[in-house]
Structure 1
Amino acid sequence: MVEQILGAVLAVAVALAACVAYFWGTNWLLDRWFADPPGRVSDDVSTERDLMRSRIRPWLFIFPAMLFLTVYLVYPVFETLRLSFFDRFGQRFIGFDNYIWAFGDGIFWQSALNNLAWLLIVPSFATAFGLVIAVLADRLWWGNIAKTLIFMPMAISFVGASVIWRFVYAYRGPDQEQIGVLNALVTGMGFAPQAWMTIPFWNSVMLMVILIWIQTGFAMVILSAALRGVPEETLEAARIDGASDIRIFFDIMIPQIWGTIIVVWTTITITVLKVFDIVYAMTNGEFQTQVLANLMYRWMFISGDYGRGSTIAVIIMLAVVPIMIWNIRRANAEQGTR
């Protein structure tokens, strides 16, 4: 444990030292390269050199980020697209055979339907719960404490959250003492305990509950900030006119923060399309809980079929890209109207 901590501290120290050395060194070289030559130079030459330094310096700061994005994001995208047209070893070109296989495979369609169920349930419930909690918490004197507790799952990794919920859904057999919270409640009411993770459809719903539990805090924070932007004069006028709290919520609050609600919903949707950790840690995709990311992992890293694994990865990417483009365009449109 001590060695791991020391290794982490050493890695951070080396990384910081490398960053300082890079930025100091590149700026020093830039200043030396465009320094005024010995002797008197004209003001135009000196100004031109200053202008060149000011143009190049920002690129020195963004170059490391661009390099890492290219190596770890741009290149993998094109390489994955290329491999999707090749055989399992990535050597023989087979055209669209991998895509024909994918759209004719029953397990692929089952995984896609599971993804669709995640898309319909998780973003809707997480956004709705986040909105309701954001409204109610502002009316309580301990509302900030409640918000903190609800936001805490956001600080937990998906795998860590899955480990926590494994104890909630744990099953030990009909004749053994149950340690799972859910089975303890069931047996306490006189019913038989269940192996929840083996029940098709409902096991997927229980996995979705984990992501809803995590993402509700994110939705709550964003929507709470948006609600604070609703003019108090509008709310007071509605109360004077005799509008109930429910009417104010649906007819005044929601329309004024509708853009933020859509952004939160689409952000959670993108997260859901890439969901992998929860399913992998809880069921490993067994009992009909598999989603496309798990199917991609199995073909790519367990079966060793780079072609089919890359094909599924491309399909996931194509599903995410339109939502991201729409989200970005909407954000740009809202900024343009301000």
Structure 2
Amino acid sequence: MLQQIFGAAIAIAVALAACVAYFWGTNWLLDRFLNSDNVTGADVTRRDKLRDSIRPWLFLLPALLFLSVYLVYPVFETLRLSLLDKTGRNFVGFDNYIWALSDGNFQRSVLNNAMWLIVVPSLATAFGLVIAVLADKLWWGNLAKSLVFMPMAISFVGASVIWRFVYDYRGEGDVQIGLLNAIVTGFGLPPQAWITIPFWNSVFLMIILVWIQTGFAMVILSAALRGIPEETLEAARIDGASDIRIFFDIMIPQIMGTIVVVWTTITIVVLKVFDIIFAMTNGQWDTEVLANFMFKWMFVNFDYGRGSAIAVVIMLAVLPIMIWNIRRANAEQGTR
């Protein structure tokens, strides 16, 4: 443990030293080669402008380099591999996509992903909105928000481990350590292997992601609610509107843009969900989703063509939502 901490500390120190050395060194070289000491007149202005135009790119260059290597290049490489065979050497055209569309497991993964898309963003956004409204009315609201947001600090795998204990099943007649089975047996009912029950096991897995993402939705929507003019709410109360009427007719319409952004952001997370499925069921008992299906073909079956084709399908599913989100954000900034 100490060795790992020491290694991490050294890595952080080396990375910081490298950043300082890069930025100091590049700026020093820029100032040295484009200095204005030995020039006069228009050349001084020209060099100053050239130096000022180059300097921002020195700060952007590392980020652009990493984006190109770890984001742009993998996209094109994945597209290329999706048109090749299992070994990634022979061109097969769209055969991998045709196989995917006719494969029963792929179709089941698409249906499961669709169910996740319907349930998780809707519930997480709704719960986040309700908690944001109610917490503002409590004197201990900040504590409540902190507790709700806490799961966001846990990795998906860590959250899955926690919920494995909730759904744990030890067999009928054995002592049940799972919280859900402990409650069930407390009422005299037989314990259940919850994550093996078709359809309902997917619902139980969705609950994990809803538990995690509700905190995110709550924080963003809470900030949006505080931006509603107090005069609007006071006028509604004077007119005799109830709290429920104020909530549905005044609050929600005024923060609808934020609600949609939160919903679409969680939707993107759902389309890429992998960790929870992998840690809980690994796609067994009809819980397969596209990301886990892609992982199996790519890193278990080592079929680079089919695995890449599934990855492209996921990317194409995420891309329209991301573009819409970016355009909406740009439009809102343009109106301010």
- Give the TM-score normalised by structure 2: 0.99
Matched, 1:264 2:271: no
Aligned residue for 1:319, secondary structure, equals: helix
Shift of 1:148: 0.3
- Which residue in 1 is equivalent to 2:20? 20
Letter of the structure 1 residue corresponding to residue 193 of structure 2 = A
Matched, 1:335 2:333: yes
| Superposed counterparts of 1:58-69, under 5 Å | 58-69=56-67
| Superposed counterparts of 1:1-338, under 5 Å | 1-38=1-38, 41-338=39-336
Deviations 1:64-100, CA, capped at 9 Å, x for gaps: 0000000000000000000000000110000000000
Shift of 1:36: 2.6
Deviations 1:167-192, CA, capped at 9 Å, x for gaps: 00000000100000000000001100
Shift of 1:43: 2.7
Query: In the aligned structure 2, how far is the partner of 1:181 from the partner of 1:218?
Result: 25
Give the unaligned 5+ runs of structure 1. Answer: none
CA contact (8 A) 2:294 2:311 kept: yes
Query: In the aligned structure 2, how far is the partner of 1:37 from the partner of 1:233?
Result: 61
Shift of 1:283: 0.6
The share of aligned pairs that are identical, in percent, is 76
CA contact (8 A) 2:282 2:288 kept: yes
Query: In the aligned structure 2, how far is the partner of 1:308 from the partner of 1:175?
Result: 45
Aligned residue for 1:261, secondary structure, equals: helix
Aligned residue for 2:75, secondary structure, equals: helix
Shift of 1:125: 0.1
Shift of 1:37: 4.9
Query: In the aligned structure 1, how far is the partner of 2:329 from the partner of 2:96?
Result: 36
CA contact (8 A) 2:196 2:285 kept: yes
CA contact (8 A) 2:100 2:106 kept: yes
CA contact (8 A) 2:100 2:310 kept: yes
Shift of 1:335: 1.3
Q: Any runs of at least 4 consecutive aligned residues in structure 1 with deviations exceeding 4 A, and if so which?
A: none
Shift of 1:47: 1.4
Query: In the aligned structure 2, how far is the partner of 1:159 from the partner of 1:43?
Result: 64
CA contact (8 A) 2:116 2:270 kept: yes
Count of aligned positions: 336
- Give the TM-score normalised by structure 1: 0.99
Query: In the aligned structure 1, how far is the partner of 2:130 from the partner of 2:173?
Result: 41
Query: In the aligned structure 1, how far is the partner of 2:41 from the partner of 2:24?
Result: 27
CA contact (8 A) 2:36 2:48 kept: no
Deviations 1:204-250, CA, capped at 9 Å, x for gaps: 10000000000000000000000001011010110111101000000
RMSD: 0.6
Query: In the aligned structure 2, how far is the partner of 1:46 from the partner of 1:37?
Result: 8
Query: In the aligned structure 1, how far is the partner of 2:35 from the partner of 2:223?
Result: 49
Letter of the structure 2 residue corresponding to residue 46 of structure 1 = V
